[in-house]
Amino acid sequence: MTTMASITVKKNDGVTDIVWTGVTASAGDKTPALWRSDTAVGTVGQKPVVTMSGQSNSNGDVRRINLDGSYPSVYTDSTTSLTSVRSKMRFTGSFAMPQDATASDINEFVAQITNLVASPLFKSSIQAGFAPV
């Protein structure tokens, strides 16, 4: 089992660190852990968040890890000086991890899939909103 911790990632500039603060640890299956980007603009309810939860399927032979994230586009109203959310970018994903796979196969799968998502091609495709052609 992993232990809840804050996570440091790079901003789009590739240089600046952003800390996603561990807000709530999971209390067990189906209960999400929550991280929030507290350095982002806006009120607490307007900040980017990511959750992760885990659970077994009905047979108990597959563990599913579910991710959900939102990143609000926050602006300040020039007349009222209040911040508002224009829209939210969303991410949802799920990893199905068979419990009969070897540790080395699981480790390789996780490393390759997460590195693919972090690759320049995937990043630029997601930013553009289109799959590569």
Domain spans in the chain, listed from the N-terminal domain onward = 7-101
Instruction: Give me the mean pLDDT over the 75-82 stretch.
Output: 95
Strand partners, 90: 70
pLDDT in tens, 22-35: 999 999 999 999 99
Predicted local confidence at residue 1, as pLDDT? 79
Q: For residues 68-96, b (16+ Cβ closer than 10 Å) or e, as one string?
A: bbebbebeeeeeeeeeeeeeeeeeeeebe
Is pLDDT of 49 > 90?
yes
- For residue 25, the model assigns a pLDDT of 97
pLDDT of residue 105: 97
Judge whether residue 80 has pLDDT over 90: yes
| Residue 57 to residue 118: CA distance in whole angstroms | 28
User: Which CATH code fits 7-101?
Assistant: 3.30.380.10
Q: What is the pLDDT of residue 66?
A: 97
- On average, the pLDDT of the chain sits at 96
pLDDT number for residue 117: 94
